[in-house]
Structure 1
Amino acid sequence: MSKRRIKKVAVIGSGIMGSGIACHFANIGVEVLLLDIVPRELNDAEKKAGLTLENKVVRNRLVNDSLKHALKSKPSPIYHQKFADRITTGNMEDDIKKVAEADWIIEVVVERLDIKKQVFEKLDKYRRPGTLITSNTSGIPIHFMSEGRSEDFQKHFCGTHFFNPARYLNLFEIIPGPKTSQEILDFLNGYGEQFLGKTAVVAKDTPAFIGNRIGIFSIMSLFHAVKAMDLTIEEVDKLTGPVIGRPKSATFRTVDVVGLDTLVHVANGIAENCKDDERIELFKLPDFINTMMENKWLGSKSGQGFYKKVVDDSGNKEIWSLDLNTMEYRKNKRAKFDTLEKTKEIDKVINRFKILIDGKDKAGDFYRKTFGALFAYVSHRIPEITDDLYKIDDAMKAGFGWEHGPFQIWDAVGVEKGLELIKAEGLEPASWVQDMLGSGVSSFYTVKEGATYAYDIPSKKHEKVPGQDAFIILDNIRKSKEVFKNPGVVIEDLGDGILNCEFQSKMNTIGGDVLAGLNKAVDLAEKDFDGLVIGNQGANFSVGANIGMIFMMAVEQEYEELNGAIKYFQDTMMRMRYSAIPTVSAPHGMSLGGACELSMHADKVVAAAETYMGLVEFGVGVIPGGGGSKEMALRASDTFRKGDVELNTLQEYFLTIGMAKVSTSAYEAYDLGVLQKGKDIVVVNKHRQIATAKAHARLLADAGYTQPVKRKDVKVLGKQALGMFLVGTDAMEASHYISEHDQKIANKLAYVMAGGDLSEPTEVTEQYLLDLEREAFLSLCTERKTLERIQHMLKTGKPLRN
């Protein structure tokens, strides 16, 4: 059978979702045709310009406006603005014939069956036989849509439900129609995971599919509980946020962002179409939701929802909350619970659930009630919405940003304990749960030989979850493959001669334990292995150096110790660069400051597409001190070309640090010079990252990796560059663009990157630049304003401009 390739995609409908999907295909290098309808009338600007409805600009206005709006939105739907060039726009009348060139057509028009059917009738005339055709519906049954279409159409047709925003939410539900061929489902499952970077889940054609069925139940169940338990919306958001591994926006803030009308639309769809659902009464809207809908308090889009931004008489902005008893907005009330205090020292979310359901306060009551209801509900959805329990967990993690799915949480509290919670709520679990315990299986999941196994109801035993072969899951191998451990890192054997060094500190900050662990990892790899990966699967790769430790040393004026600590950081970075084995860094999420420096000193970087990387030390009043300032000077020197204005090249690298620029994707990190084209690579699916990094470490080793020779040829420009930088910072301070302290930091950086005040351009060693960098870093640590900046960052997590 010939291999199916996707070179061109046609997206029909350019609303928020359609434009988002178009942008994500452009992100991965696919050519996109984005079509929408022709406007029925001219707008004022067109009338003024004397245009007619026949004019091409007018005919493509809707699609062009939608795409322009999407590209300006934040967070951006596109990895890099230039990727938008891969999208061509058009309209459904003039350009419909062009769908014949597409390998995949995705319909994203309004959620009305009659309109969708009309669109499919049109598309069926022009699509090539064998072309994939899918609908991004979130609720209309798939089997209704393909009725009356050609045999070839029905065979290649199914639902492909992206979650909004398409770039950031990883759930990709695939819903077969009555005649969808298995080959198409298998292809989409593989393509979604490997190319789109998604968690692909094949769902059944039931209302709201998997993610929204469970997610909306969870939210509606809270809507009913909030008044019954006399909780405020702040309290619910405190209880359902990061403490249980859910997004910061928790419940009510999330609804404000998504839009209450969107949620109500899906809830009503479930209420109307799931008459046999044993908890159908929960999908009926409580009074306060009806009132909010009548008042058009829909959330962010209408300016108020459960929260509202209020400006007081002095012009200060505050966020007020809705009181669900009075239906009036009031100042926020701080939410505090003893049960939550007990979990503060527990870093791993999965270990908190036992304590939370044991709470003796309102929080404990809340968790027992909501988890009892959730466990019962998900048990009854099998086999209705899926035959596999792991698919429910996958959908909730990828679509709703939960760190752990319902069955994983149930396992964490214990299956028997979960049954007690269900009974206490006056509910019954599905009979298969009791059958599972009766057959001697006491958990939904188990791990064997580094792979996850989930309970399979028909066979009554654990079966290996498919699709893991391209992944390395560190949680699954940590215990059995551990080679070394200290409080900051775990070093694991990934197999095939490659080690992995995984950070385990709070927010993966880089302090003494992590540096000792990195050095140990290089020692072990040089002695008994062929390569080293530095990678983890935490929320973020690392937020950088442990600034708390730097602050304590600086406040106590332990400058010798501080000098030693900075030198240790620099030496560790150089150790990674000049080791006898290849080192590969695998950054993802926030990879800031010291974490960015670490990646810049690896032989290769395998970055996740969602990597937010930059040298941000200016924000805490210092310059990059772990080799970052040196490295930017070195990279500038390596890009000098004959006839270049070398000062301009150096200035770009200087500004990357001076403006604390952070990439909003790995592709933008190339522009900043912190990733290097032709050397570093990007993977779209974060789950594949460690396995890909391991493969690249192996490739480097097999290619005959030789320990590099230390650099002595870094060209620095001396006084010529220093003079230019000092004039520039002087002008900026004089025009109040930067503060006096900003100028002082910038001048220190200028001195390092110019290589000091040498009388002419000179070639120097890396060590020469490192010594200048360390000296500058240390001197800034003696400044009161730097200490104020560090203290402010430690207290608030935000930079101070003083």
Structure 2
Amino acid sequence: MTRRIKKVAIIGSGIMGSGIACHFANIGVEVLLLDIVPRELNDKEKAKGLTLEDKVVRNRLVNDALTASLKSKPSPIYNQKFADRITTGNIEDDLHKIKDVDWVMEVVVERLDIKQQVFEQVEKYRTPGTIISSNTSGIPIKFMNEGRSEDFQKHFAVTHFFNPPRYLRLFEVVPGPQCKQEVTDFLMMYGEKFLGKTSVLAKDTPAFIGNRIGIFGIQSLFHQVKELGLTIEEVDKLTGPVIGRPKSATFRTVDVVGLDTLVHVANGLYENCPNDEAHELFKLPDFIETMMKNKWLGSKTGQGFYKKTVNAEGKKEILSLDLNTMEYRSKQRAKFATLELTKTIDKPIDRFKVLVGGKDKAGEFYRKNFAAMFAYVQNRIPEISDELYRIDDAMKAGFGWENGPFEIWDAIGVEKGIELMRAEGKEPAAWVTEMVSNGETSFYTVKDGATYYYDVPAKKQTKKPGQDAFIILDNIRESKQVFKNSGVVVEDLGDGILNVEFQSKMNTIGGDVLAGLNKAIDMAEKDYQGLVVGNQAANFSVGANIGMIFMMAVEQEYDELNMAIKYFQDTMMRMRYSSIPTISAPHGMTLGGGCELSMHADKVVAAAETYIGLVEFGVGVIPGGGGSKEFALRAADSFKKGDVELNVLQEYFLTIGMAKVATSAYEAFDLGILQKGKDVVVVNKDRQIAEAKKHALMLAEAGYTQPPRRKDIKVLGKQALGMFLVGTDSMEAAHYISEHDKKIANKLAYVMAGGDLSEPTRVTEQYLLDIEREAFLSLCTERKTLERIQHMLKTGKPLRN
């Protein structure tokens, strides 16, 4: 039987329940979100004369929870319109509606008695064969199964999302003892394909995989911090981006998640894992006990390891907790000689060898830290997982680590990892010793573009399952490379499709990237069928190389700058008018030039988590790589009979003028950056390159022909320009924008109106590109624009001057 999920019921509307409901709505599923009925009226309800029988009162808890979730930042939903897919109700009046859903998920408080009551009620109305799951993070399934029918148990599993459900990719699937294999297989597939997650099969052990390893790592640090005499700033410096972890590192992450949440899981592990060799590590150190007593729980209580205050000068300041005195003090800058040695090493995976060799306190910290982690994860096989890759997948998807523990161990060297453990009095597990004695020198290998892992029970390298739906660029970069310069690598994806992968810092677009793009188009036109522009870095591209623009402008090399802008524009036009289909595959930050590139491809295959927009106003210029022209063109193409054309054009103008950035690919359709009926969205980023290749092939096989250059773009001339200039005048007069903002906006107005033509006229695309370039160049001669660019290069933040 083919199982399809058209409608789900989520029982429990707290932070997790509402977040999960929003994510199902994100992927187009209808959601029934239920919670309990309030026991008493609040003051507002009393004032209105309402009673406990009124529907608005009975649904208050669920409605308030969902409203709070939808207002939260970052948003749990791709587009606010998608919230219409969620229907709210309460357990007493609406539970019978679950008979019509395909999946019932319980997300109530972590108390077994309450969960059992919910399941008893669910059994009364659930249609046999419907999937039923719990989002528990630790209650054993055998207890939740007690008293449940055979059909319930056969379709019951834990489906553990991490918070926030939209953004964290880990989806742990823990089948119950009686759960049918087909249900487990379905949930694993659904998590990957539809929810866009990394599905990890876990065993029914305390805290499953992610939290078991993650909490061990944090508790291990808690115990090391005083032993090594480190400050919390130093630990956060050592455990952040330098080792491929989130900026929030350790202590800031605990503040965001909430110390009470961490303590709850750690206490659970201490109670439920008496035989764990690291049992005593799950005991809370004194400073955590003090913080719990003082209710210093992190962001939710206004202070935790860090505290936001306003100093004597009225400026906001972040203080840090001194773990020796338990008092807050000014933040101290953390600096280590070992970290300086890694500054020229771009990839975190290549830094680990250098870090464990450090001669200072940082080196000692890494040696101790990794020794403890390696010793712990090796002993969790087969307790929490039979396969080591599941542990790595869980840590990457649930905690935002760039590399999992076994990948880090590989990077340091398996023998070196054993040496580090022995130095700390820890021995390798029997299976690790056996693996090394059999001549296996790593946990992972890459063969024929696929990843293989050391299979402990089979005692050999086995192909990691599920890769066939993915193209992993790291695995094919060397073997399939057909061209390389300092800006790009061009790979052969097979079936006549090439891929251009940016290699510059933050994937900025400079001369080498543009040269690489042109070379790839040349090659594709000569010997291939299509071209994908895609990468698997954190961000697609943060835009043009503004450092290069700044240097040319400061040196007043205006001819060279003009040529550089023209080269960018011409490359965008080649993306659009080549004889082969071009596909852009944006994800993460896709700003400025990255956005312009996507807008000029034949098709965009965007990851759902794409933050895309034309942000050039922030550095004092207008989009100069075809973005201003493209919005004028798209506005003209959307003019319909009876439209007030000025109003349509104004919408596009404001999107650039306000530097609007879509916070998901779905919002990008509303902004006119992505085009309905043409561009597509992929929820699972891992599938994006494979999906982009598929679309390139489809266009090629459908008989792709080179489009003719546009000569029919309707511009409105003085009529539009006058309206825009009046608008910018009044905005400046009301102090909404500065004098320089007005100057930039007026330049944009000139381009999007098509100049000061006396009447609406049809113009060529090249005409618009020429006036766009002229406007861009003139802004680069302005002192205030140079100040904005310099400020952005120094601080990463826009300057209002």
Per-residue displacement from partner, 1:594-617 (whole Å, max 9, x unpaired)?
A: 000000000000000000000000
* 2:482 aligned with 1:488: no
Map of 1:265 onto structure 2: 264
Q: Which residue number in structure 2 is paired with residue 506 of structure 1?
A: 505
The one-letter amino acid paired with 2:470 is F
Separation in structure 2 between the aligned mates of residue 626 and residue 409 of structure 1, nearest angstrom = 40
**1:654 equivalent in structure 2:** 653
SS of alignment partner, residue 676 of structure 2: coil
CA shift, 1:143, in A, is: 1.6
Letter in 2 for 1:129: P
Q: How far apart, in 2, do the equivalents of 1:469 and 1:259 lie?
A: 39
Counterpart of 1:801, as a letter, is: R
> Deviation digits for residues 423-468 of structure 1, max 9, x if unmatched?
1111122110010011111100000111100000111110001011
Counterpart of 1:440 in structure 2 is 439
Q: Which residue of 1 aligns with 2:40?
A: 41
Query: What code does the residue aligned with 1:747 have?
Result: N
Distance 1:43 1:553 in 2: 64
Q: What is the distance in 1 between the residues matched to 2:682 and 2:314?
A: 45
Q: Output one character per residue of 1:698-752: Cα deviation in whole Å (capped at 9) or x when no partner.
A: 0000000001100000000000000000000000001100000000000000000
Q: Please give the root-mean-square deviation of Cα atoms over the aligned residues, in Å.
A: 0.4
Deviation at 1:106, TM superposition (A): 0.3
2: CA distance between counterparts of 1:365 and 1:625? Answer: 50
User: Aligned pair 1:684/2:683, yes or no?
Assistant: yes
Kindly report which structure 2 residues correspond to 1:771-790, keeping only aligned pairs within 5 A, or say none. Answer: 771-790=770-789
Please give the alpha-carbon distance, in whole angstroms, between the structure 1 residues aligned to 2:356 and 2:312.
44
What is residue 126 of structure 1 aligned with on the other side? 125
Name 2:220's counterpart in structure 1: 221
- In 2, the alpha carbon distance for the partners of 1:686 and 1:711 equals 34
Q: Name the aligned partner's letter for residue 460 of structure 1.
A: K
2:386 is equivalent to residue 396 of structure 1:
no
Q: Which stretch shifts more, 385-394 or 312-321?
A: 312-321
**Cα offset for 1:178?**
1.1
1:398-419, Cα deviation, whole Å (9 max, x unpaired): 0000000000000000000000
Q: Does 2:540 align with 1:541?
A: yes
Tell me whether 1:757 sits opposite 2:737 in the alignment: no
Which position in structure 2 is the counterpart of 1:77? 76
Distance in 1, Cα, partners of 2:106 & 2:467: 30
Aligned partner of 1:301 in structure 2 is: 300
- How far did 1:647 drift? 0.2
Match of 1:477 in 2: 476
After superposition, give the CA deviation of every residue in 1:183-227 in whole Å (9 maximum; x if it has no partner). Answer: 000000000000000000110000000000000000000000000
Displacement of 1:313: 2.6
| Distance apart, 1:530 and its partner CA | 0.1
Find the counterpart in structure 2 of residue 611 from structure 1: 610
Structure 2 counterpart of 1:427:
426
- The aligned runs of 1:708-727 (5 Å cut-off) are 708-727=707-726
CA distance in 2, matches of 1:314, 1:241: 31
Cα distance per residue 1:651-678 (max 9 Å; x no partner): 0000000000000000000111110000
C-alpha distance in structure 2 between counterparts of 1:750 and 1:381, whole Å: 63
Deviation string for 1:28-71 (max 9, x for gaps)?
00000000000000000001111000010000000000000000
Structure 2 residue identity aligned to 1:743: K
AA partner of residue 11 (structure 2): I
Partner of 1:338: 337
**Paired position in structure 2 for 1:569:** 568
> In 1, distance between residues paired with 2:564 and 2:54?
67
Equivalent residue number for residue 519 of structure 1: 518
One-letter identity of the residue aligned with 1:166: P
Query: For each residue in 1:75-123, what CA deviation from the matched residue of structure 2 results, as whole angstroms up to 9, or x when unmatched?
Result: 0000000000000000000001001011000000000001000100100
C-alpha distance in structure 1 between counterparts of 2:105 and 2:295, whole Å = 32
Q: Secondary structure at the match of 1:161?
A: strand
> What secondary structure is seen at the aligned counterpart in 2 of 1:479?
coil
Q: How many residues align?
A: 801
Q: Aligned equivalents of 2:348 and 2:574: distance in 1?
A: 34
Which is further off, 138-147 or 41-50? 138-147
- SS of alignment partner, residue 335 of structure 1: coil
Where 2:478 maps in the other structure, the secondary structure is helix
Q: How high is the TM-score relative to the length of structure 2?
A: 1.00
Question: Per the alignment, in what secondary structure is the counterpart of residue 95 of structure 1?
Answer: helix
Give unpaired runs (5+ residues) of structure 1.
none
| Distance of 1:590 and 1:123 partners within structure 2 | 43
Give CA-to-partner distance per residue, 1:492-515, whole Å, 9 cap, x none: 000000000000000000000100
- Alignment partner of 1:201: what SS? strand
Cα deviation for residue 146 of structure 1 reads: 1.0
Q: 2: distance between equivalents of 1:723 and 1:517?
A: 41
The residue that corresponds to 2:383 in the other structure is: 384
Please report how far the alpha carbon of residue 142 of structure 1 lies from its aligned counterpart in structure 2 after TM superposition.
Answer: 1.4
Deviation of 1:314 (Å) = 2.7
Aligned to 1:4, the other structure's residue is in SS state: coil
Amino acid at match of 2:534: G
* 1:561 CA drift (Å): 0.3
Equivalent residue letter for 1:145: M
Per the alignment, in what secondary structure is the counterpart of residue 544 of structure 2? coil
Aligned to 1:153: 152
Q: What code does the residue aligned with 2:798 have?
A: P
Distance 2:407 2:457 in 1: 20
Partner of residue 628, structure 2: 629
1:508-564 CA-to-partner distances (Å, cap 9, x unmatched) read: 000001000000010000000000000000000000000000000000000000000
AA aligned to 1:646 is E
Distance across 2 between alignment mates of 1:383 and 1:392: 11
The answer to whether the aligner puts 1:769 opposite 2:760 as a matched pair is no
Residue matched to 2:595:
596
The reply on whether 1:204 has 2:211 as its aligned counterpart is: no
Percent identity over the alignment is: 81
1:312 is the counterpart of 2:316:
no
Whole-Å Cα distance in 1 between the matches of residues 312 and 339 of structure 2? 36
CA distance, structure 2, for counterparts of residue 365 and residue 37 of structure 1? 52
Letter in 2 for 1:295: N
Q: 2-side partners of 1:669 and 1:342: how far apart?
A: 41
Q: Distance in 1 between matches of 2:348 and 2:674?
A: 32
Match of 1:4 in 2: 3
Q: Distance in 2 between matches of 1:430 and 1:160?
A: 30
User: Which position in structure 2 is the counterpart of 1:643?
Assistant: 642
User: Residue 94 of structure 1 aligns to a residue in which SS?
Assistant: helix
Displacement of 1:256: 0.2
Aligned equivalent of 1:186: 185
* DSSP-derived class of the 2:661 partner: coil
Counterpart Cα distance in 1 of 2:256 and 2:669: 31
Question: Counterparts of 1:314 and 1:468 in 2: how far apart (Å)?
Answer: 56
Q: Give the TM-score normalised by structure 1.
A: 1.00
Regions of 4+ moved over 2 Å: none
TM-aligned CA deviation for residue 348 of structure 1: 1.0
Unpaired runs of 5+ residues, structure 2, are none
Q: 1 CA distance for matches of 2:644 and 2:287?
A: 65
For 1:617 and 1:164, locate their aligned partners in 2 and report how far apart those are by CA, in whole Å.
33
Amino acid at match of 2:251: F
- Distance between the aligned counterparts of 1:468 and 1:87, measured in 2? 33
AA aligned opposite 2:663: T
Secondary structure of residue in 2 paired with 1:93: helix
In 2, Cα distance between equivalents of 1:422 and 1:106 = 42
Matches of 1:740 and 1:341, distance apart in 2? 43
Partner of 1:741: 740
Cα distance between partner residues in 1 of 2:27 and 2:553: 46
Q: Secondary structure at the match of 1:41?
A: coil
Number of the residue aligned with 1:163 = 162
Return the letter of the residue paired with 1:701.
A
